[in-house]
Structure 1
Amino acid sequence: MNTTSILRQKTSLQESVLEMLNQQMAVEAHSSALYLSMSAWCYSQTLRGCGEFFRKQADEEREHMMKIFHYITHAGALAISPEVGKLERNFADLRSILVMALDQEIQITENFNKITEHCQKARDYQTARFVQWYLDEQYEEERQARRCLEIFDQMNAKDAIFDIDREIHDLKKKE
């Protein structure tokens, strides 16, 4: 075994923390793919603003996955490239997508809360500090997903679908 291989085996990341981080990478990859699927559906329904909004969400989720990937690899541990399973491709309507997006963000927040709690119990304060960025980010992600749903509900859906499309698209411009 060469020196590089030996150095790569030494890490302060505990196996249980590493496992949770790799699992979260898979969640982020799935989330990215799901948002891309939502984007494609929106474009197919001529909702270009929502299509662009969800495409940008997909990009952000991939960035989140890659941030975890880099954290793991820089710590000298093995990041596991996630597989993405079967995705929803057909959606009932825009509101069902918006509800699904909010549910997805709430679940991701819960995951990061569990990772943080586990890191604190494991006395891995470095990773807990790293995960804090995600908790701050998730606050914004949930707020934005909730706002999309509020816009939809306040504008009485069917009669104002193109206004809803424009408003949701403009949410990303304001960031």
Structure 2
Amino acid sequence: MRYVLATEFDRITAENAALQQRLNAADQRGDELEQDKARLDALESNCWDIRFGSSPNGDAGDSSINIEVVGHWMDAPVERVIGENYSENLRAAIDQAMAAPAYPPARPEYPEPEPDADADWHMTPCKQGHRDVGAAGGVAACNQCDEKIEAATTQEAFERWNATHTAMHA
């Protein structure tokens, strides 16, 4: 009969747990690499293009990156976006393309914005006279005091604000 000291047993148990954790991490990394290989194989075998677009984020000096996976067909439109992602995640865009139908419909055409869509969004000052006011997310509010109007839409909040805040408060 062979005896093992408790300290030796604890050391071996801890070593075994650490090795098991490393094995699990390596196994997960292997799965991730297999997924990446499948993505690369899909790009290559389908002759897909990856296109990156950039649009500025206001005056912050930063920009948003969008990614499109484009497939090619013989009839019009010959190029179709089959995967896209607006959070800079190339893997997600490729995964979406891999799950797309074999012959996807043409990308929907979005209507042109109305010519006056960016019409006058001028807001009158708040009841305390602050001019730092704005509307977003269904709320029209003063950025200096707690005055605000909430509505179902930003447009409605904007209209209600201007209806209750006349220019004479300016």
TM-score of the alignment, normalized to the shorter chain, above 0.5:
no
Given the two structures, how large is their TM-score scaled by the length of structure 2? 0.24
Decide which structure has greater helix share.
Answer: 1
Decide which structure has greater strand share.
Answer: 2
The one of the two structures with greater contact order (alpha-carbon pairs below 8 A, sep at least 6) is: 1
